[in-house]
């Protein structure tokens, strides 16, 4: 059985840990709120742009005008995996790593490992892929709470250029989609070839558009912008999911620490009471012996 000193040390250690996890929970909750606000601030623009594009591309001629919408036989694929830079966020990173392994195995069996380009955004997925002895291509994107949109534009432009020149035939993105603070959904999404997708705000209408200077010029300008915005939103989504996962993980850790502290305190009091009782019995026994 542990001594009183050992239990006191454990209580102090657990209490210190609880303070740390509680502080991390509050920091993560604040970052979560900030990241959610960042997404919501650009949501109306994104939804309206998507609505315009959906209605236009869904017209009789619109769907085949853009070279980055061309569907063809997949001979070479680019996989982009997104994780966090740090841990203490539950199963957030392990879920993405598992999804990457399954996706890589699927494409490797169909295309061969030499026909897969791998991009890792986030230190945790980068370390995990490196341990698999797979070659990584640096996307030059720093994963921070304030994403650099220009570096994202450069990266996505390179992907679109490789796609139109047929160096790659498909681009897939692996990340955690934020549902709520307690639920993050591992998601596989196709970035290229681009497909106009209908969201809840899109209403298909038979509009005879009058386009200047022409449909191809508009599509060639609009679709790349939507692709860049979609990838930027994906990175933001992953960041929100990370903060949500860390908030939940630190909340659980804090509650566990509180429960353990109560249990250790109860054991300490029981052991202390037993020690005092033993001392009293010893004193009484000594006093009776003197008589």
- Positions of the chain with pLDDT under 50: 60, 62-63
- Give pLDDT tens digits for 218-236: 777 888 888 999 999 999 9
pLDDT at 60: 43
Number of C-alpha atoms within 13 angstroms, CB side, residue 162?
17
pLDDT at 116: 95
The encoded tokens of residue 1 equal 């059985």
**CA nearest neighbour of 248 among 181, 185, 186, 184:** 181
The secondary structure element, H or E, covering residue 12 is helix 4-57
Query: Alpha-carbon distance 90 to 107, whole Å?
Result: 28
- Give pLDDT tens digits for 149-171: 999 999 999 999 999 999 999 99
Strand, coil or helix: 179: strand
Domain spans, the chain: 26-248
pLDDT at 59: 57
- List Cβ neighbours of 1 (8 Å cut-off, separation of 6 or more): 271
CATH 3.40.1380.10, applies to 26-248: yes
Within 10 Å of residue 221's Cβ, how many Cβ atoms? 10
Residue 176 burial (10 A CB sphere; 0-12, 13-18, 19+): buried
The encoded tokens of residue 288 equal 């009776």
Contact (CB, 8 A) for 125 and 100:
yes
Query: Alpha-carbon distance 229 to 70, whole Å?
Result: 19
pLDDT at 63: 47
* Three-point CA angle 34, 36, 178, nearest 5°: 130
Query: Alpha-carbon distance 56 to 48, whole Å?
Result: 12
């Amino acid at each position: 059985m542990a001594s009183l000193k050992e239990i006191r040390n454990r209580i102090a250690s657990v209490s210190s840990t609880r303070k740390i996890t509680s502080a991390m929970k509050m920091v993560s909750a604040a970052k979560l709120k900030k990241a959610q606000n960042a997404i919501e601030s650009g949501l109306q623009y994104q939804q309206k742009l998507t609505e315009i594009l959906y209605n236009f591309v869904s017209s009789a001629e619109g769907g085949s005008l853009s070279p980055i919408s061309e569907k063809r036989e997949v001979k070479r694929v680019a996989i982009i995996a997104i994780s966090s830079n740090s841990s203490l966020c539950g199963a957030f990173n392990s879920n993405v790593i598992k999804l990457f392994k399954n996706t890589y195995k699927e494409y490797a069996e169909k295309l061969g490992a030499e026909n897969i380009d791998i991009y890792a955004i986030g230190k945790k997925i980068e370390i995990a892929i490196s341990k698999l002895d797979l070659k990584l291509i640096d996307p030059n994107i720093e994963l921070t709470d304030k994403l650099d949109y220009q570096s994202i534009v450069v990266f996505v432009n390179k992907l679109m250029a490789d796609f139109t020149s047929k160096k790659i035939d498909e681009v897939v993105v692996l990340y955690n989609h934020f549902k709520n603070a307690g639920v993050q959904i591992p998601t596989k999404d196709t970035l290229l070839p681009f497909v106009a997708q209908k969201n809840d705000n899109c209403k298909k209408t038979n509009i005879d558009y009058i386009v200047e200077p022409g449909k191809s010029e508009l599509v060639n300008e609009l679709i790349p912008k939507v692709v860049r915005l979609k990838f930027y939103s994906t990175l933001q989504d992953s960041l929100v999911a990370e903060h949500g996962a860390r908030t939940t993980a630190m909340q659980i850790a804090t509650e566990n620490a509180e429960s353990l502290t109560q249990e250790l305190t109860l054991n300490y009091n029981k052991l202390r009471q037993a020690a005092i009782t033993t001392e009293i019995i010893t004193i009484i026994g000594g006093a009776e012996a003197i008589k």
